[in-house]
């Protein structure tokens, strides 16, 4: 079921591919999260037919929920919408390399592919600190693509933390 992908073709407006366009939706969600005082991470879940099942930003503060990372919020919504806790054909886009909790959830959901923007050298659990998404001792491995709109995704985080430091210094 690649109909929509075929219809849209590989290249979109301005020569951007489908991955870039999906990542832009994740970036938009990350910006909205920043507006709520959340760490600016966004995620998009695309079903195997190419349809967007869920778009979410971080909600840990908004929901007072330590598990409400963008990826978890998006996976929950996508599973509910598709009526299946397994998202076997899904592609997940995340602006930042997922943490250990989120990488574990991606394995649990059996997603087909993960695409992320910028690496997280401190907590990334895909390649940087742990390698949960292609760990041979786990019973599911997914396709991985890193570095999609990496500079923009990284800049969002840098801006956010710079601003937070600046506010702290003022206090």
What contacts 145, CB < 8 A, 6 or more positions away?
A: 19, 113, 114, 115, 116
Catalytic one of 32, 38, 71, 135? 71
**Span from 44-52, 91-99, 132-140, 150-158 in contact with Zn ion (CB under 5 A):** 91-99
Given 23, 44, 96, 99, the residue binding Zn ion (CB under 5 A):
99
Output b/e per residue, 111-134; b: 16+ Cβ within 10 A. Answer: bbbbbbbbbbeeebbbbebebbbb
Given 69, 78, 79, 142, the residue binding Zn ion (CB under 5 A):
69
Q: Is 33 in the site for Zn ion (CB under 5 A)?
A: no
Q: Is 26 in the site for Zn ion (CB under 5 A)?
A: no
Per-residue CA distances from 17 to 5, 20, 23, 24, 119 (Å): 10, 5, 10, 11, 20
Token output for 75? 């996976």
Q: Is 18 in the site for Zn ion (CB under 5 A)?
A: no
Residue closer to Zn ion, measured from CB, 21 or 31: 31
Residue 162, SS3? helix
Given 46, 56, 102, 125, the residue binding Zn ion (CB under 5 A):
102
**Contacting residues toward Zn ion, per CB under 5 A:** 69, 99, 101-102
């Amino acid at each position: 079921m690649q109909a929509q992908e075929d219809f849209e073709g590989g290249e979109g407006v301005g020569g951007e591919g489908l991955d870039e366009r999906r990542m832009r939706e994740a970036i938009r969600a990350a910006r909205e999260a920043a507006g709520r005082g959340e760490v600016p991470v966004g995620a998009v879940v695309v079903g195997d037919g190419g349809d967007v099942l869920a778009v979410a930003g971080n909600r840990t503060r908004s929901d007072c929920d330590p598990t409400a990372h963008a990826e978890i919020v998006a996976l929950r919504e996508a599973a509910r919408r598709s009526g299946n806790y397994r998202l076997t054909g899904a592609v997940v886009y995340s602006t930042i390399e997922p943490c250990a909790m989120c990488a574990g959830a991606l394995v649990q959901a059996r997603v087909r592919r993960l695409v992320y923007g910028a690496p997280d050298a401190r907590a990334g659990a895909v390649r940087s600190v742990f390698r949960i998404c292609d760990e041979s001792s786990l019973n599911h491995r997914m396709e991985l693509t890193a570095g999609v709109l990496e500079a923009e995704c990284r800049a969002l985080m840098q801006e956010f933390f710079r601003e937070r430091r600046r506010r702290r210094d003022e206090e």
